[in-house]
Structure 1
Amino acid sequence: MCAGIWGFCSISGGRTMKKIKSIASVAMLAAGLGFSGQAAYAADISFMSFSYAEEAAKPSVEALLKGFEAQTKLTVEPLGYAWGDMQKNIFLRSRSKTLPSVAQLSERWLPSFANVAGLVDLNEVYGKDKLAAIFAPDALAMGQIGSKQYALPLISGSIGLIANKAVLEKAGVTKTPTTIEEFRSALVAVRDKVPNSVPYTMATKNNGSILLDFMIWTWTFGGEIIDEQGKVKIGNGDAGKQALGFMVSLMKDRLAAPEIDRPDARRLVAQGASAFFFDAPQARTHLRSFSGQGPAFDANVLPLSTPVAVAGKEPASIQWGHLLVQFSADGKAKADAPASQFITYLTSDDAQSKFPLEQSALPVTKSARANPKVTGDAFLTAWAKAAGNPRRNEVGIWPNAAELTQIIGEEAQGALLGQKSVDDAIQAMHKRLETSMANVNKQN
């Protein structure tokens, strides 16, 4: 059976498949290795996924696995890890030579894995021109490092602001905020009129989550953290201090709260205890689940442009998506290999017309984005309008992104918790980031 837009055929049941599986079985028994050259798996393919570990997304992942297995007669072993544990566990599996066949990544993690042994350049598997013809350019670009296509996109979108309309109505907020001043006024109204609420569930724990809120507010106040040449900018000028100072002021005025991560924000918004938070469009699926109302909760979900510090400025948002990477013993793979077939299926018209929409995200292929199911989705249309022109994560693109994220999260949290002044936190952040980036820039 041919895999839709890809134009080559997946190997299904019959003599060819039996022969390939027989050869693979002999090879695994002889070498004691699985398809990826790591520890043997009972299944043909192992898939490491954070969506599989999420209550709201797991049924959709299971449906994908069943669809693939029915089409190809190949089996998939899902390995579910929480989003916050994925990077650590991939590195651990790399050291122990038990990497999965395929793994799901957040787009900002890719540079951290560029040097992992066994990572496959997918241009060599499918062909660079063929990939360019199939995928939307913005989605395909998320998986590129230099001339290499180290990942293919699974779902796409941006990180932007989401409001709960029901909470705003309860607080008497009739106009959605477009400026920082209007945003703060709306937060005060929620604090004063919605008991036991956290008006803005700003990320205040988990360095990876803190980074996103801090980056958006830094851009909002006209600053940068690290420019495209790798020069640290956060301590230059007042923008970084204004951004962190704004965040600290929200904490002091009980407009935000400590110990909040993205999953906490989703639950509080779904339960009517928060009015605003930053997230990807996938949040709609989580809100449906956590509210217990399913699609009926959609009436409360309002995508908004990030409020601006100066009228007329472009609202800030961050590129976002989920990626698929492939591992093999020698970093090579053919298009008809089991793991390659799995990636082909996940990015086929059949899968892309279902899974991204179930996750309230945009498909990644040109043909799937033209599907009436996508063009007719009011939420996704509103999201795209509110997002404006999302900017690339300026921290996530560097190979030392994990260290950079830790530095920013630690210093921002120190100020948010009152352990440091804003000035001290920004200056310490700047110096630590410069030290980290010095090694990267030397290598470049």
Structure 2
Amino acid sequence: MKNFKSAIGAVAMSTGLLMSSAYAADVSFMSFTFAEEANTTTVQAMLDEFSAAENLTVEPLGFAWGDMQKNIFLRARSGTLPDIAQLSERWLPTFASLEALVDLNTVYGKETLEATFAADALAMGNVNGKQLALPLISGSIGLVANKAVLEQAGVEAPKTVAEFKDALIAVRDNVPNSVPYTMATKNNGSILIDFMIWNWVHGGAIINADGQAVVDTAESRAALQFMVDLMTERLAAPEIDRPDSRRLLAQGASAFYFDAPQTRTFLRDFSGQGEAFDVNVLPVTTPVLAEGDQSTSVQWGHLLVQFAPGATSTAEAPAAKFLSYLTSDAVQTSFPLKMSALPVTNSARAAVADDAYLSAWAAATGASRQNEVGIWSNAADLTTIVGEEVQGALLGQKSVDDAIVAMQSRLAESMANATPAN
């Protein structure tokens, strides 16, 4: 975003909030993308460019995606929070109550942010009218396929659930040692996404708009039974998390899994083929129960939050300068594409509108829906409940009916004191 840096400078000048010598010169940046082997070099290059431009050093703190939330809370308790942290969009409600979290409207100005960012991207970081995060990359979570594996199995991209299952059977029977659908069967956060999507496909829901647990229905039972049947028929496998899904699909041992558009970047690395593997990456519309039904996906993105003493910052603080750099045109026309994701600013989206892969992903997105668990203040607890109960059914530790009944009871108890996060 070309004018964002100059705009925030104007904000700082007009309010008299110029950075004083009391501010530290360095910025600490906690990032799960930096911890990903495929992306460490890309992130480091971006940090080096910022340091060269602003004469400020950045300390990267890399943590695995699954460890980020725990480490942020530990650092909050010990008073060692980073200046800037990267979040998955679904985590923001969990951290909304941290006293050090800065409302970025007070730093850059609400009107400036609304004029700069695409509305859908900016909305991911808004909680109760406060802009607690800025978007870094955006997109959706949908179905992706390995085109070469489909061809080996003699099938095309399925449009209905019945066609999807037929395709999985063909892969199982024609592609040796394969896991046709690398459904998430461990890691509660990953399991939640797969169940949520299949639940929507079958007409179910987990939490309604009024905050009521509504999973104890025939539709949700059908969704969970569908997932259990895939396990029973060897169309899915235990002990699979998103990194495993990416690796197996990249190695030609899987046909389908759910992921965000940045999957292309991981697949390039895991395949060992780099960009040559792109011809195999096929965005697929999520199958529907009946032709004519509306396909769906989950809203997705990465966010950036700022922590500061008293939750107070200025547009000229080093951390704020780093945020403005990460959302500048120089970064947004490059980094999201390297991550195989959509830029978040209006100017950057216009500049990369002809990207074929992102256009194909957008065409396969269908009706993207908000994460119905992530919008609540107790999102972490809800995620654990859904993940544990679904996993129990998938592993044969309890029946589908018992899992749904227990899920409903536990969700209702957790929602008794919950409040909407946005």
Q: TM-score, normalization: structure 2? A: 0.96
Q: Secondary structure at the match of 1:254?
A: coil
> Do the aligned partners of 1:5 and 1:349 also contact (CA within 8 Å) in 2?
no
Instruction: Kindly provide the CA deviation profile for residues 43-72 of structure 1, in whole angstroms up to 9, marking residues without a partner as x.
Output: 610000000000111111111101111110
Q: Which residue of 2 aligns with 1:48?
A: 30
1:224 aligns with 2:223: no
Q: Which residue of 2 aligns with 1:402?
A: 380
Instruction: Kindly provide the CA deviation profile for residues 258-287 of structure 1, in whole angstroms up to 9, marking residues without a partner as x.
Output: 000000000000000000000000000000
Cα RMSD over matched residues? 1.8
1:339 aligns with 2:319: yes
Distance 1:52 1:151, change over 3 A: same
Q: Which residue of 2 aligns with 1:420?
A: 398
Q: Which residue of 2 aligns with 1:307?
A: 287
Question: Aligned-pair distance for 1:310?
Answer: 2.1
Q: Secondary structure at the match of 2:75?
A: helix
> Do the aligned partners of 1:159 and 1:318 also contact (CA within 8 Å) in 2?
yes
1:146 aligns with 2:128: yes
Question: Aligned-pair distance for 1:172?
Answer: 1.0
Sequence identity (%): 65
> Do the aligned partners of 2:182 and 2:254 also contact (CA within 8 Å) in 1?
yes
C-alpha distance in structure 2 between counterparts of 1:345 and 1:326, whole Å: 14
C-alpha distance in structure 2 between counterparts of 1:430 and 1:171, whole Å: 39
C-alpha distance in structure 2 between counterparts of 1:276 and 1:426, whole Å: 26
> Do the aligned partners of 1:157 and 1:320 also contact (CA within 8 Å) in 2?
yes
Question: Aligned-pair distance for 1:23?
Answer: 3.8
Letter in 2 for 1:150: L
C-alpha distance in structure 1 between counterparts of 2:390 and 2:83, whole Å: 37
Letter in 2 for 1:206: N
Structure 2 counterparts to residues 267-282 of structure 1, below 5 A? 267-282=247-262
Letter in 2 for 1:376: D
> Do the aligned partners of 1:281 and 1:361 also contact (CA within 8 Å) in 2?
yes
C-alpha distance in structure 2 between counterparts of 1:380 and 1:429, whole Å: 36
C-alpha distance in structure 1 between counterparts of 2:320 and 2:211, whole Å: 34
Instruction: Kindly provide the CA deviation profile for residues 279-326 of structure 1, in whole angstroms up to 9, marking residues without a partner as x.
Output: 000000000000000010000000011000122111120000000000
Structure 2 counterparts to residues 74-113 of structure 1, below 5 A? 74-113=56-95
Q: Which residue of 1 aligns with 2:164?
A: 183
Question: Aligned-pair distance for 1:20?
Answer: 6.1
Question: Aligned-pair distance for 1:7?
Answer: 2.6
Q: Which residue of 2 aligns with 1:293?
A: 273
C-alpha distance in structure 1 between counterparts of 2:180 and 2:395, whole Å: 18
C-alpha distance in structure 2 between counterparts of 1:20 and 1:128, whole Å: 20
User: Which of 209, 212, 216 is the equivalent residue of 2:190?
Assistant: 209
Instruction: Kindly provide the CA deviation profile for residues 82-114 of structure 1, in whole angstroms up to 9, marking residues without a partner as x.
Output: 000000000000000000000000000000000
User: Which of 358, 369, 375 is the equivalent residue of 1:391?
Assistant: 369
Distance 1:153 1:227, change over 3 A: same
Distance 1:52 1:21, change over 3 A: farther
Q: Secondary structure at the match of 2:294?
A: coil
Question: Aligned-pair distance for 1:443?
Answer: 11
Letter in 1 for 2:227: M
Question: Aligned-pair distance for 1:196?
Answer: 0.2
Higher RCO (CA 8 Å, separation ≥ 6 residues): 2
Question: Aligned-pair distance for 1:439?
Answer: 1.2
Letter in 2 for 1:313: D
Letter in 1 for 2:358: L
Letter in 1 for 2:339: Q
Question: Aligned-pair distance for 1:389?
Answer: 2.2
Instruction: Kindly provide the CA deviation profile for residues 350-408 of structure 1, in whole angstroms up to 9, marking residues without a partner as x.
Output: 0101100000000000000000xx22211100000100221000001111100000000
Question: Aligned-pair distance for 1:148?
Answer: 0.5
> Do the aligned partners of 2:375 and 2:420 also contact (CA within 8 Å) in 1?
no
1:160 aligns with 2:159: no
Q: Secondary structure at the match of 1:439?
A: coil
Q: Which residue of 2 aligns with 1:351?
A: 331
Distance 1:128 1:441, change over 3 A: closer
Q: Which blocks of at least 5 consecutive residues in structure 2 are unaligned?
A: 11-17
Q: Which residue of 2 aligns with 1:116?
A: 98
Q: Which residue of 2 aligns with 1:170?
A: 152
Letter in 2 for 1:388: G
Letter in 1 for 2:370: R
Question: Aligned-pair distance for 1:440?
Answer: 1.2
Q: Which residue of 1 aligns with 2:14?
A: none
Q: Secondary structure at the match of 2:296?
A: coil
User: Which of 236, 247, 260 is the equivalent residue of 2:227?
Assistant: 247
Deviates more, 1:181-190 or 1:311-320: 311-320
C-alpha distance in structure 2 between counterparts of 1:6 and 1:221, whole Å: 46
> Do the aligned partners of 2:8 and 2:108 also contact (CA within 8 Å) in 1?
no
Instruction: Kindly provide the CA deviation profile for residues 401-436 of structure 1, in whole angstroms up to 9, marking residues without a partner as x.
Output: 000000000000000000000010001000000000
C-alpha distance in structure 1 between counterparts of 2:45 and 2:285, whole Å: 33
Q: Which residue of 2 aligns with 1:136?
A: 118
Letter in 1 for 2:416: A
Instruction: Kindly provide the CA deviation profile for residues 97-151 of structure 1, in whole angstroms up to 9, marking residues without a partner as x.
Output: 0000000000000000000120000011111111010000000000011110000
Deviates more, 1:79-88 or 1:433-442: 433-442
Q: Secondary structure at the match of 2:245?
A: helix
> Do the aligned partners of 1:155 and 1:356 also contact (CA within 8 Å) in 2?
yes
C-alpha distance in structure 1 between counterparts of 2:343 and 2:367, whole Å: 18
User: Which of 159, 169, 192 is the equivalent residue of 2:173?
Assistant: 192
> Do the aligned partners of 2:5 and 2:325 also contact (CA within 8 Å) in 1?
no
C-alpha distance in structure 1 between counterparts of 2:19 and 2:295, whole Å: 53
Q: Which residue of 2 aligns with 1:32?
A: none
Distance 1:228 1:9, change over 3 A: closer
Question: Aligned-pair distance for 1:5?
Answer: 3.6
C-alpha distance in structure 1 between counterparts of 2:2 and 2:35, whole Å: 27
Task: State the aligned residue count.
Answer: 415
> Do the aligned partners of 1:208 and 1:409 also contact (CA within 8 Å) in 2?
yes
